[in-house]
Amino acid sequence: MYYLLCTMFLLVGTLTQHGLWSSGASDKNKAMVEQLQRYGVIKSTKVAEVMETIDRGLFVPPGGSPYFDSPMAIGYNATISAPHMHAACLELLEDHLQPGMRALDVGSGTGYLTACFALMVGPEGRAVGVEHIPELVASSTENIKKSAAGPQLSDGSLSIHIADGREGWPELAPYDCIHVGAAAPQIPEALIEQLKPGGRMVIPVGTVFQELKVVDKKLDGTVTVRDETSVRYVPLTSKDAQLQSN
């Protein structure tokens, strides 16, 4: 089923590149979301609305194919995750992204998911991105400014910081929701500490073989961890190690 989905996206993309498909960017973004709904990746109306509102085309570097269901290189040995992974993480985190809640996006990259989080928690909540490549922080800020989440950068309910995400962002902890966009060898203790009781973290864990883990902190502070699915992410590592890897 997944391969069929990829083929559909490639077909739409090919038609687009050859001028046989004449819809505008927002129509293509909408078509991508509808495809993810048809294949059951997106079930929630709220997630569909947010992914329709935040145009992925604003977050993929020029020359890329933003509406293909594939990760894409964004420089600095980093990628923007595939649309189905963004959708799956939003689905897993929706209950922890209610208006007024606090969300931390570790390894915020292009800023796409941080922008989605900001729309979900609204101006009375906080969406915080942490990324260790300064150039990506600068470009993600420009991407977000052009998007529907732009006003939240101005009102302060969305912020992106240059930092080592393995330490989280303690200034605004605890968080109802933590998303980690890069694979950690194990779950960083600082992130568990910064998760609010009742909160949820979604984090890829592993090196060669990786699992997307769902970490729930119960109201009494006990923590449960379960595997959601096998995944392939770039590593959550030091800036130097990332820039030297090839």
Ligand X SMILES: C[S@@+](CC[C@H](N)C(=O)[O-])C[C@H]1O[C@@H](n2cnc3c(N)ncnc32)[C@H](O)[C@@H]1O
Annotated catalytic residues are 81
Report whether 50 contacts 117 (CB < 8 A): no
Distance (Å, whole) CA 110 – CA 206: 23
The sign of the torsion formed by the CA atoms of 224, 218, 184, 71 equals positive
Q: Out of 181, 205, 212, 231, point to the residue binding ligand X (CB under 6 A).
A: 181
Should residue 233 be labelled a site residue for ligand X when binding is judged by CB under 6 A?
yes
| Residue 222 neighbours by CB under 8 Å, 6+ apart | none
Select from 99, 244, 150 the least CA-distant residue to 141.
150
| Amino acid identity, position 58 | L
Should residue 83 be labelled a site residue for ligand X when binding is judged by CB under 6 A?
no
Q: Which is nearer to ligand X, 113 or 121 (CB)?
A: 113
Residues between 103 and 142 that touch ligand X (CB under 6 A):
107-110, 112-113, 130-133, 136
Should residue 234 be labelled a site residue for ligand X when binding is judged by CB under 6 A?
yes
Residue count at the site for ligand X (CB under 6 A)?
A: 26
Q: Which is nearer to ligand X, 20 or 186 (CB)?
A: 186
Should residue 165 be labelled a site residue for ligand X when binding is judged by CB under 6 A?
yes
Select from 187, 212, 216 the least CA-distant residue to 199.
216
In the complex, minimum distance from the CB of residue 136 to ligand X, in angstroms, rounded to a whole number: 5
Contact segment (CB under 6 A) with ligand X among 35-43, 47-55, 210-218, 233-241 equals: 233-241
